[in-house]
Amino acid sequence: MYKVGITGGIGSGKTTICNFFKTIGIPVFSADLEAKRILNESSQVRSQMIFHFGKDIYLSNHTIDRKKLAGIIFNSPSLLEKVNSIIHPEVRKFFFEWCNRQNSAYVVHEAAILFESGFYEMMDFNILVTAPEEQRIEWVMKRDNSTAEQIKERISMQWPDEKKNQLANMTIDNNNRELIVPTLLELDKKFRLHG
């Protein structure tokens, strides 16, 4: 199965582009959504999370305490790495199981940290989505009701586009939603030939 990775910084438009692929019938795997699900549902992940962060990392309804987790990972790169090392192997395992269930010429894997996690190496083609920082901040402020400062802080924790660009097979500049549709249709044609 041909695998296409899609990544980009916060608010660059990865999900918007993945939604286009979904609309034309391509299966899309969202690593970030799966990671959230696995945190709540995998007993192996749960016991490792409790071992490292204490049982209070889960709420009384057995779902992860997102506020507490955010507090841990935003303040310490090494703890963020720890959390990732607990979750990533499970997400990977689930991705390959998921691929085996798809009946499609190709699949799309959306992940915020595709390059950082090394998962891009398991893809056949990697796309980086970019947009000007000011534009991304404006979009995310509207979408999440967050402040420019909060978004800038998150951007500063991510790899810069220049670094990701070196590992990507292609970069899509998401400056204008209309203009990217022909590019996406061309890509779809190309990926179908591989499938």
Enumerate binding residues for ligand ATP (CB under 6 A): 8, 10-16, 112, 139-140, 143, 174, 176-177
Residue in this structure with the two tokens 């795997």, named with its chain if needed: 29
Calculate the CA 159 to chain-centre distance.
13
Residue 38, phi then psi, degrees to nearest 5: -65, -35
**Distance between CA 53 and CA 177 in Å, rounded?**
42
SS3 state of residue 126: strand
Which tokens go with 128?
A: 């980086």
Shortest Å, Cβ 17 to ligand ATP:
7
Q: What angle do helix axes 66-75 and 77-101 make, rounded to 10 degrees?
A: 120
Nearer to ligand ATP, 143 or 192 (CB): 143
Shortest Å, Cβ 51 to ligand ATP:
29
Nearer to ligand ATP, 44 or 150 (CB): 150
Shortest Å, Cβ 11 to ligand ATP:
4
Shortest Å, Cβ 52 to ligand ATP:
25
The residues facing 8 across adjacent strands are 129
Nearer to ligand ATP, 16 or 104 (CB): 16
Nearer to ligand ATP, 53 or 139 (CB): 139
